[in-house]
Each structure stands twice: as structure tokens, then as C-alpha cells.
Amino acid sequence: EPEVTQTPSHQVTQMGQEVILRCVPISNHLYFYWYRQILGQKVEFLVSFYNNEISEKSEIFDDQFSVERPDGSNFTLKIRSTKLEDSAMYFCASRIGQLNTEAFFGQGTRLTVV
Amino acid sequence: AQKVTQAQTEISVVEKEDVTLDCVYETRDTTYYLFWYKQPPSGELVFLIRRNSFDEQNEISGRYSWNFQKSTSSFNFTITASQVVDSAVYFCALSEVKDYKLSFGAGTTVTVRA
């Protein structure tokens, strides 16, 4: 069964460093998303991406964040100058693009900023 | 703005008992989608069910069933004959047609004891 794949599963980084979280969405999907879940809290929308551009972003998704689809398969989230409060589980999701379809999530990348 | 409320923080049951999870939502849209996702201790988000706003027919899928009532903006989810493997955090989510991004509730932690 096709699935969304995220790497790495866990990343530890020093405060102020840049990190890139990688995702391979399901191959025929057209809509891509990043969500964040701070430990013990609810899942929050960060950004949606369609047709090679951001379609919507939340207030959380400020200039510190960027997304890119560098080739036909990868979808990345870059976090510049990481802060302690960026520590969270980051989920990538993809959706096929037709109406009435669910988003499928990757297994998540746990980011720990120290 | 869309909003999802899961009033139950934690539910603990003994195996084989039924578990009903409550979800109340707010949206100004007439067309929207409702979802339930499961997050087991391993951390991934697993899609369970989806419902459209224009289809209030309630269904059963295996041990899962749901009760969608537009009049009360509720989308409750029931696990019948619970098993230990059902222990997880369950999230109700809402997406609107405009952008299909998911707004999640705070989640309900279900613990099923043997």
C-alpha cells in the first residue's frame, strides 16, 4: 500500500542551526501539507502546497520556515535558526486532490532542539 | 474560523467495553468534511473515517461506527468491543472545501485495560 515517507524519524539539533525535514508523498498525490504537534498538544496546520507553490500557511509558518518540492518526489520543510520551541513532531501529509478525499500522513519526524 | 472541540481528555475502559468519543465542530461553510484519526503510542497518525457534510447517514465499519448530526454539529465515534490495541489518542478533524487543510481537536486519550 502506498504511504507517505518521512526522514529522518528523529533529529536533534542545536539552537540556531538550520534543519531540513524530508518527505516523499504518495506518488499520484497533488496536495502536500506540513503539520506540527508539540508534545502532548494537538496537531496544528503549518502549510499547504499545490502546483509548486504555497496555497495557504498558518500564523506559525513565518519567515523562519520554507517549503520546497525540489524534484518530482520530495517535499521538504526547512526551519532556519531553530529555537527551543520548535521542538515538536512534524508530520507531512498528502492528498490526491479530488473532492472528498482524506489526507494520508507520514510517520512523523521528531525534532528536538537543544 | 473552523474549530473542533473534543471535551473528553481521557477515557479508560476495560477490554470489550464500548467507547464513544465526542466531537463538536464549528464552521461557517455548508460543505465540509469530518475525519477521525488515531495516534497510537508509536506516534503516527492513522486515518480512520471520513464523512461529508451533505451525507448524514451513519455507518458501521467493523468495530468502528459514527454518528454524524448536523443539527447539533456533532460527529461522535464509537469503538465497539474495545481491545488493548485500541489504546491511542483519537483526533477529530474538520476540513473545509476552500483549502482542505485539517483543523484538529485536542484529542482524546483512550486507554483499554486487559
Q: Which residues pair with B92 in a beta bridge?
A: B36
- Show Cβ contacts of residue A63 under 8 Å, excluding neighbours closer than 6 positions: none
Task: Answer yes or no: do A100 and B50 touch at CB < 8 A.
Answer: yes
8 A C-beta contact, residue A28 and residue A5:
no
Q: B6 to chain A, minimum CA–CA distance in Å?
A: 11
pLDDT for residue B61: 81
Q: Which of A33, A35, A43, A95 to mutate to test the interface with B (most CBs of B within 10 A)?
A: A43
Phi-psi region of A86 (alpha: psi -120 to 50; beta: other; left: phi over 0): alpha
pLDDT for residue B56: 75
User: Per-residue pLDDT tens for B31-80?
Assistant: 899 999 999 999 999 999 888 888 777 777 889 999 999 999 999 999 99
Average pLDDT over residues A28-43: 93
User: Per-residue pLDDT tens for A65-99?
Assistant: 999 998 878 999 999 999 999 999 999 999 987 66
Considering only CB atoms, B101 lies closest to which of A33, A101, A104, namely A33
Q: Which of B10, B96, B101, B103 to mutate to test the interface with A (most CBs of A within 10 A)?
A: B101
Please, what's the b/e burial string for B29-47 (b: 16 or more CB within 10 A of its CB; e: otherwise)? eeebbbbbbbbeeeebbee
Q: What's the rounded Cα separation, in Å, for the pair B93 and B79?
A: 17
Q: In degrees rounded to 5, what are phi and psi of residue A90?
A: -110, 125
